[in-house]
């Protein structure tokens, strides 16, 4: 899964910080890892990518349907996005090829 978050200039580090503490997702069966990346640029809107990898599509779907995941969304229901948030999107990808140094 790849989340793309675009924020006003100066807020990228704050968004990165939101993902730096340990969360319940890390305890879910089938969770592999999460990478948070900030696009390198000099000026203007900032972009943060969050890549979450799962052992299988079934593991990801189990997380999406879990009580913990649903409760998190319920807690944020009705809250407005921060004013510095420009755009958010989420896409799901499957691995077509994988390589390591070994």
- pLDDT tens-place string over residues 31-87: 999 999 999 988 999 999 999 999 999 999 999 999 988 988 888 788 888 999 999
Angle at the Cα of 52 (from 32 to 63), degrees rounded to 5?
Answer: 75
Q: Which domains does the chain have, with CATH numbers?
A: 2-91 (3.30.70.100)
Closest CA to 15 of 27, 3, 31: 3
Q: DSSP string spanning 68-100?
A: HHHHHHHHHTTPPPPTTEEEEEEE----S----
Q: What is the pLDDT of residue 75?
A: 80
* The predicted structure's pLDDT at residue 58: 95
pTM: 0.86
């Amino acid at each position: 899964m790849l989340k793309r978050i675009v924020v006003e200039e100066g807020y990228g580090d704050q968004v990165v910080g939101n993902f730096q503490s340990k969360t319940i997702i890390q305890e879910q069966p089938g969770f592999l890892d999460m990478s948070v990346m900030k696009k390198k640029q000099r000026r203007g809107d900032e972009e943060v990518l969050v890549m979450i990898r799962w052992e299988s599509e079934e593991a990801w779907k189990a997380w999406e349907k879990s009580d913990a995941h649903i409760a998190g969304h319920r807690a944020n229901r009705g809250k407005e996005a921060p004013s510095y948030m420009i755009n958010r999107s989420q896409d799901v990808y499957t691995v077509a090829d994988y390589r390591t140094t070994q």
